[in-house]
Amino acid sequence: MELNQVTLPVKDMDKTVKFYLCLGFTQIVDTPHYARFSCPDGNATFSLSLENEDFENHSVIYFEHENLDALYQALIEKGITFEQAPTEQRYLWKEAVLLDPSGNKIKLYWAGENRLNPPWKVEKRA
């Protein structure tokens, strides 16, 4: 089984689409109430769904990039604001944190081998 996509709620479709395009994603669906993007690497997609009601999204969306520091600097130069610069975490990932225009929390990170094989990895269970 493979994860197909994650859909994020948004308040302002145009503003949020521009944000994700600035991050480097490719838009593959464009409607007034729904947009979908492909990631620059791999086959993953994610989408945006326009919400008319107030919402709180407590999910965190992670996008992995091997050259996190360079990506961070390039996005700063494009005017993207971060809540946290790339920082080494105790769980062996390096993360930068930002919010999209609708308040969805995004973490750009690099975990390398530790993403699927951390030192505390457990065995498969049935």
Question: pLDDT digit of tens for each residue in the chain (126 aa)?
Answer: 888 889 999 999 999 999 999 999 999 999 999 999 999 988 899 999 999 999 999 999 999 999 999 999 999 999 999 999 999 999 999 999 999 999 999 999 999 999 999 999 998 777
Q: How many CB atoms lie within 10 A of CB 102?
A: 19
- Which CATH architecture best describes the domain 5-50+57-112? Roll (3.10)
**DSSP letter assigned to residue 114:** G
CA distances from 43 to 22, 111, 123, 126 (A): 19, 19, 27, 28
Instruction: Indicate the pTM of the whole model.
Output: 0.92
Q: What residue segments make up the domains of the chain, in order of their start?
A: 5-50+57-112
The separation between CA 81 and the C-alpha centre of its own chain, rounded to angstroms, equals 14
